[in-house]
Amino acid sequence: MKKRYLLPFVLLALSSCNKDFLNQESPNAVSVGTYFKSENDVLLAVNGLYQALRSGSTIGESSALYSEERSDNTGRDDNQSNAGEPFQFNDFSILPSNSYIKTHWSAMYDGIARCNTLLSNIDRVTFADNAVKERYIAETKFVRGLLYFHMVRKFGDIPLSTVEITTKEQAAEIAYRQKEATVYQQIVTDLTDALNSNLPNVQWQYAVGRTSKAAINAILGQVYLTMGATLAGDKQTNFQKAEQYLTASYGMRTFGKLTEIPYTEVFDVSKKSTCKELVMQIQYLQGDQNYSSSIARNNQARGENINSKFISTGIGGNVKHDLVKDYEDQDLRKIFSIKFAEHAQVKDWFITKFRDNSEGAGTEGRGGNDWILIRYADVMLLLAEAKMNLGKDAEAIALLDEVRLRAGLPSYAVSRTNASYAAKYPTLKEAILHERRVELAFENHRWFDLIRNYDANALVEYFKKKSQADYGNAKLSNISIKDRYYPIPFDEYKLNPEKMYQNTGY
């Protein structure tokens, strides 16, 4: 692996544990060997980990290209000029030389390198209270586990490092792909260590935008659910573990029923620091030139002003007609999440789920939307999926029904009496997948849901059943079993074709 992928450690500080979470000054790039001297140095380094999550090249709000745009929810419809490489993701024509894949790989491993460097150097600092040190270590392991979880699902076997890399020799030693199962075990170790810490149950007991035990339980549950669905081995135990951790996360909620929280409130900028459904989010600062959110303005279509005061000249956030047709009649989520743009140069659906039309965001569209990584409807539907895999259908349906009730829809049992619903979602598995699709649309979960529930052959079959007319310019006929994984970036592969072997089909 190239040193620039695993060695860099740029200390970009954004936050603290209080209301100034996004207002810290950067220490600038300094030598790691001379940096770690005080508790505040460590705090700024931890803040740098959260900064890494904000990037659109990792898992921030503009990272949909690497997940949602691979799915049947959205994707570039423009295959011309500079749009050619992004178009490859949804067109299932991605090449190992794709520069966006290389950027994503590099940025994700840079985030992992930050974690490794902090963990390798934190013992240099004497803490007045060892509990603070333990909390920083837990946060770091959570971030590392989260980044590896995203990478292993996208690329399969990947290089694995848990220590700071300081020499070319060290870099060469770890520059080989390790099996998925091995990577998952490291993810489980990191998340379990983070859970066995003094972190609070919910983010409000620490700081909004920082991790908590509710968030760690949620991700650990999803990890076990993914392992149970995709890896060989003791699937029953993995599903039981998934149920255990997702139940623990759900039990830490500070509300009763999901219906207590209107769907629109989840995305309300004015309530992002108080909405009880939010488990973890990445913070953005309204009005700030550098740290504001641009998701509302970027999704806005020409002739519209529902998202932002910004005057758009484009078509806005693309919505596949396949998704539009998947919303049931009277689903309140459809009304809020998407809209048809009547402008003559658009005449299509665009994303309206993320809005900031306030004076604070202004005509430049510098919004205050936080990017939601985990929320309780997500946790509930993951838990429903785990219970379904354990044969606990009644318990799974109860969770499914609670999500549907908030959306203004009838229960699963009643919906099953509708011939159209029963034909489209003949099994509980398909009903849960459908519910996750419309509940979490554009939140970057859809691709992961598909590859968790369909193996490579079934994934191809699933996509090829769709109507090309509902999918846009991207060609459904291109998909093959190779598309279960992304290609290893060509620059990584060519370093050592044997140890950094390419995924099949690329």
Q: What is the pLDDT of residues 84-130, one digit of tens each?
A: 899 999 999 999 999 999 999 999 999 999 999 999 999 999 999 99
CA distance 139 to 147: 12
Q: Are residues 10 and 152 in the same domain?
A: yes
Q: Are residues 463 and 490 in the same domain?
A: no
What is the DSSP code string of 153-165?
Answer: HHHSSB----S--
- Residue 118 belongs to domain with CATH number: 1.25.40.390
Q: Are residues 125 and 22 in the same domain?
A: yes
**pLDDT, tens digit, 9 for 90 and up, residues 324-367:** 999 999 999 999 999 999 999 999 999 999 999 999 999 999 99
Last residue of a domain, one of 336, 369, 402: 369
341 strand-pairing partners: 348
Q: Are residues 339 and 407 in the same domain?
A: no
Instruction: Output the pLDDT for position 82.
Output: 54
Report helix, strand or coil for 289: coil
pLDDT at 158 over 70: yes
Q: How many domains does the chain have?
A: 3
Is residue 31 very low, low, confident or very high in pLDDT (cuts 50, 70, 90)? low
| Domain presence at residue 235 | no
**% of the chain with per-residue pLDDT over 70:** 93
Q: Calculate the average pLDDT of the chain.
A: 93
Report helix, strand or coil for 429: helix
Q: Are residues 395 and 471 in the same domain?
A: yes
On whether the CB atoms of residues 287 and 366 are closer than 8 A, the answer is yes
Q: Are residues 424 and 503 in the same domain?
A: no
Q: Are residues 187 and 67 in the same domain?
A: yes
**% of the chain with per-residue pLDDT over 90:** 89
Q: Report the range of poorest mean pLDDT among 24-38, 55-69, 147-161, 446-460.
A: 24-38
**pLDDT, tens digit, 9 for 90 and up, residues 415-440:** 999 999 999 999 999 999 999 999 99
| Domain presence at residue 86 | yes
169: Cα within 13 Å, side-chain hemisphere: 0
* Average pLDDT estimate for 6-24: 37
On whether the CB atoms of residues 9 and 29 are closer than 8 A, the answer is no
Q: b/e string for 48-87 if b means 16 or more Cβ within 10 A?
A: bbbbbbbbbbbbbbebbbbbbbbbbbbbbbebeeeeebbb
Is residue 78 very low, low, confident or very high in pLDDT (cuts 50, 70, 90)? confident
pLDDT at 8 over 60: no
CA distance 214 to 209: 13
Is residue 20 very low, low, confident or very high in pLDDT (cuts 50, 70, 90)? very low
Alpha carbon 344 to its chain's center: 34
Taking alpha carbons only, the member of 157, 67, 59 closest to residue 112 is 59
Q: Are residues 301 and 160 in the same domain?
A: no
Q: Are residues 187 and 333 in the same domain?
A: no
pLDDT at 83 over 70: no
Q: How many other β-carbons are positioned within 10 Å of the β-carbon of residue 19?
A: 10
On whether the CB atoms of residues 475 and 467 are closer than 8 A, the answer is no
**pLDDT, tens digit, 9 for 90 and up, residues 369-383:** 999 999 999 999 999
Q: Are residues 391 and 406 in the same domain?
A: yes
Q: Are residues 41 and 149 in the same domain?
A: yes
